[in-house]
Chains A and B, each alone.
Chain A
């Protein structure tokens, strides 16, 4: 009987340890981002962030879930306000307000995570890949922009897995905002459309 108890105790301890090793990581990014230092262009843009984008939870692997929906809506709204003088944020194309000159529809293509146990590096890394469909108010396509963003922790020392992935995801989100602000008007199709649109406004 005593032997049986010892065996039970050993088995449950082993199961508990194995469970702890293969535990899942659920992270919700709730971060405020700084206001941007930029000079917005005189343009009325509407951002379409649908419900799936607003509540997006990435599942880069079967053990990891990262809720970036709320954070990415705040970050991108903030960043686009640094690009345009008037920005509206709606949940569907039906809600695009009158006077809109440019429509931007954002979606997440993929989120990837790299952890030290897999990469043999001492850092946690997160990649977020965005798609942006940029259109006129009439729905005519201007450009389709693929924007990859990257973030990593300084090192993984003394960080729990969830804290490290959270930190790397915040760096990746900031990188997405920075890249958007610096590169948006450098995209040839957008630059050309802006020039043409400006000329049309002057003529009318």
Chain B
């Protein structure tokens, strides 16, 4: 009985330790919700212009799945970049609202926007960093069997910022920043037991819920 209690206590203690802390900050100049008609699209683009990192494509996809809604469609990043080639390549994409306003002065670009029905563009910038590796683990295998012994931990920090541009009115509608951090562990007791902190998924769902709340309540039919 005492052994079972100890196991339960240990497991719950470790599970709690693997949790992550997520903070979502937002900035909006207005409290009005964003207008989006049925059939309009939202696209999420990851920043690719920095030399040292690129916004994780899987995080862009995760965020797209989070905000996808029955009233409007989330256009895939690749489909959007291809549909507007060469204006949203890593080196040519507009990094500021002033550059988008300049780009939209070209009739053929504006015509393509209307044709594809992309109403909002979300620029996503950020990355997930791993740091603070500690501990060690060694595994061995022999004729009588194998096993691991030891303990290893590391910290993960995710920070992402999303900027939402309205491509119809050419205005910045919102800025959302999410910070998420947590520590993951691997305990080697014969078999390695990973206890991973859900930093990525917490950051994705935190930002996704915030962005989705701007759209869904005002979706209009037809």
Contact = CB atoms under 8 A, between A and B. Distances in A.
A154 B106 contact: no
B89 A154 contact: no
A79 B109 CA distance: 16
Contacts of B57: 154
B109 A37 contact: yes
B89 A178 contact: yes
Interface stretch (A21-29, A47-55, A101-109, A169-177): A169-177
Nearest to B109: A37
Contacts of A171: 90
Interface in A117-164: 150, 154-155
> How large, as a class, is the contact surface on chain B?
10 to 19
Contacts of B86: 36-38, 79, 174, 177-178, 181-182
Contact of B112 (A37, A155, A179): A37
Interface string B56-90: 11000000000000000000000000111111011
Which of B84, B86, B87, B112 has the most C-beta atoms of chain A within 10 angstroms of its own C-beta? B86
A175 B83 contact: no
B46 to A, nearest CB: 9
Which of A36, A37, A177, A178 has the most C-beta atoms of chain B within 10 angstroms of its own C-beta? A37
> How large, as a class, is the contact surface on chain A?
10 to 19
A36 B90 contact: no
B25 interface: no
Contacts of A150: 91
Nearest to A149: B91
Contacts of B114: none
Contacts of A36: 85-86
B85 A33 contact: yes
Nearest to B82: A34
Contacts of A181: 86
B54 interface: yes
A39 interface: yes
Which of B90, B107, B109 has the most C-beta atoms of chain A within 10 angstroms of its own C-beta? B90
Given A38-B108, A154-B54, A178 B92 contact: yes
A200 interface: no
B70 to A, nearest CB: 29
B76 to A, nearest CB: 13
Interface string A61-83: 00000000000000000010000
B80 to A, nearest CB: 11
A90 B87 CA distance: 28
A37 B107 CA distance: 10
Contacts of B92: 178-179, 182
B75 to A, nearest CB: 14
28 contacts: A33-B85, A34-B82, A35-B85, A36-B85, A36-B86, A37-B87, A37-B108, A37-B112, A39-B107, A39-B108, A150-B91, A154-B48, A154-B54, A154-B56, A154-B57, A174-B85, A174-B86, A174-B89, A175-B89, A175-B90, A178-B85, A178-B86, A178-B89, A178-B92, A179-B91, A181-B86, A182-B86, A182-B92
Interface of B: 48, 54, 56-57, 82-87, 89-92, 106-109, 112
User: 6 closest pairs, A vs B, by CB?
Assistant: A178-B86, A34-B82, A34-B85, A178-B89, A154-B54, A181-B86
